[in-house]
């Protein structure tokens, strides 16, 4: 974003990176990262000193979550596999929920990226075969509502691909491929149902189901998104970029919680993340809840604030870092100021204010060694998502040893 050669002499736009720092931030490609300010470079390299990249090629321990990726269907090359609602009804298929059925066969929704957002697989729905809209508040509070897609794909085309990955659960982890560093948020990720996914909805499969609420918490946080913005120079968030994003390891998240003497860190994070994701009957069942978690806007905002504050601490951001980073999300700040009637430039906008207050509260409990008690606690984790301390495993702490999930959904 330099627009004039005179800006090259601006000290506030210049920074130095050592070869070691370049290799730290981009260990697979060794490409030089590009930052807007020295502060961005300093925060980013400090985060990478604390947490490794998601997948480090060439290292025996370079994939601690056992992650594999998938690009399931291509919107252009695989279009012959896609069917509209009118085509299916004409062929005798019956729509149940958002799945078409005929005899024992099923046509599964093609889950486009625009249909999900952070902790919400019901962000948008199609009205017909061409027009989509946001899901309404009334639809979100209806636990039986599932969004309507534009296309459906035969289950026989989907299931073999998931079986080849060894994935037998009713929920998947996805993120939007299309993004920009100047959008309100850059990394849009969520847990989505076990359905068909086009190339705009990229998929990640860890070794175990209980890893999903932990990973989606990390990847949905402002702490993570700030780093993603430093690594995104175009309009795509592809696998090679995602592999080089800093992600806490299963072992580091299994440590005792600094602000809760009753739970370890992973359980504290997973309880909030899973509750946010289990708002519909189908998703709750896939995650192992006996009933869906009611969609309450106040609880959801509170749990997300807790998670964002916690992830800033997990990633090692100082309080000044948090304040600075939140101000880089200009679109979020502008929207909050408009909704609260604040003047342009007011530094105390809602999302930033809430996260900083919760950051301070968690920091105080961590310093005092006391337990943070949530005024709106999420429900306990289902058995299927229960975590086991890697230290209790007789073998090395691989993801499967650390996170022993329940049966398949």
Reported as a single tens digit per residue, the pLDDT across 286-320 is: 999 999 999 999 999 999 999 999 999 999 999 99
Rounded Cα–Cα distance for residues 409 and 403 (Å): 16
Rounded Cα–Cα distance for residues 78 and 76 (Å): 6
**What is the domain extent for residue 134?**
19-402
Instruction: Give just the sign of the alpha carbon dihedral 306, 307, 313, 318.
Output: negative
Q: Is residue 32 part of a domain?
A: yes
Q: Is residue 409 part of a domain?
A: no
CATH of the domain at 242: 3.90.220.10
pLDDT tens over the chain, length 409 residues: 788 998 888 888 888 999 999 999 999 999 998 898 999 999 999 999 999 999 999 899 999 999 999 999 999 999 999 999 999 999 999 999 999 999 999 999 999 999 999 999 999 999 988 899 999 999 999 999 999 999 999 999 999 999 999 999 999 999 999 999 989 999 999 999 999 999 999 999 999 999 999 999 999 999 999 999 999 888 999 999 999 999 999 999 998 999 998 899 999 999 999 999 999 999 999 999 999 999 999 999 999 999 999 999 999 999 999 999 999 999 999 999 999 999 999 999 999 999 999 999 999 999 999 999 999 999 999 999 998 655 443 333 333 333 333 332 2
Q: Is residue 336 part of a domain?
A: yes
Q: Is residue 2 part of a domain?
A: no
Report pTM. Answer: 0.93
Give the bridge partners for 124, in sequence order: 134
Angle at 173 between CA 76 and CA 380, to 5 degrees: 155
Q: Is residue 14 part of a domain?
A: no
Q: Is residue 205 part of a domain?
A: yes
77-123: per-residue pLDDT in tens? 999 999 999 999 999 999 999 999 999 999 999 999 999 999 999 99
Q: Is residue 178 part of a domain?
A: yes
What pLDDT shows up at residue 18?
Answer: 95
Q: Is residue 214 part of a domain?
A: yes
Number of domains in the chain: 1
């Amino acid at each position: 974003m330099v627009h004039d050669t005179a800006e090259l002499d601006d000290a506030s736009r210049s920074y130095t990176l050592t070869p070691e720092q370049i290799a730290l931030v981009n260990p697979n490609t060794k490409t030089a990262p590009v930052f807007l300010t020295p502060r961005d470079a300093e925060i980013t390299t400090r985060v990478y000193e604390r947490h490794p990249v998601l997948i480090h090629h060439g290292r025996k321990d370079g994939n601690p979550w056992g992650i594999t990726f998938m690009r399931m269907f291509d919107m252009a090359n695989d279009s012959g596999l896609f069917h509209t609602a009118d085509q299916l009804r004409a062929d005798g298929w019956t729509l149940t929920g958002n799945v078409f059925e005929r005899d024992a066969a099923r046509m599964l929704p093609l889950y486009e990226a625009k249909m999900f957002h952070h902790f919400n697989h019901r962000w948008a729905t199609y009205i017909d075969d061409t027009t989509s809209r946001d899901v309404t508040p009334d639809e979100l509070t209806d636990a039986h509502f599932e969004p309507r897609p534009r296309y459906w794909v035969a289950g026989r085309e989907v299931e073999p691909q998931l079986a080849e990955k060894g994935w037998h659960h009713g929920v998947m982890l996805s993120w939007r491929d299309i993004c920009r560093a100047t959008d309100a948020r850059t990394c849009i990720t969520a847990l989505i149902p076990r359905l068909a996914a086009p190339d705009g909805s990229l998929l990640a499969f860890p070794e175990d189901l209980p890893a999903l609420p932990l990973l989606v918490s990390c990847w949905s946080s402002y702490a993570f998104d700030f780093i993603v913005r430093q690594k995104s120079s175009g309009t795509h968030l592809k696998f090679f970029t995602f592999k080089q994003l800093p992600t806490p390891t299963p072992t580091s998240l299994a440590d005792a919680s600094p602000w809760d003497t009753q739970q370890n860190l992973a359980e504290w994070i997973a309880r909030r993340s899973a509750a946010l994701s289990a708002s519909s009957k189908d998703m709750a069942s896939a995650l192992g809840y006996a009933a869906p978690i009611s969609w309450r806007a106040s609880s959801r905002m509170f749990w997300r604030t807790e998670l964002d504050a916690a992830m800033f601490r997990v990633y090692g951001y100082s309080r000044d870092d948090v304040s600075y980073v939140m101000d880089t999300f200009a679109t979020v700040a502008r929207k909050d100021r408009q909704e609260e009637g604040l003047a342009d430039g007011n530094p105390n906008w809602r999302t930033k204010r809430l996260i900083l207050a919760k950051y301070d509260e968690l920091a105080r409990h961590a310093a005092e060694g006391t337990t943070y008690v949530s005024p709106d606690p999420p429900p306990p984790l289902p058995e299927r998502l229960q975590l086991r301390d890697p230290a209790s495993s007789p073998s090395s702490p691989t993801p499967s040893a650390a996170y022993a999930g329940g049966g398949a959904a």
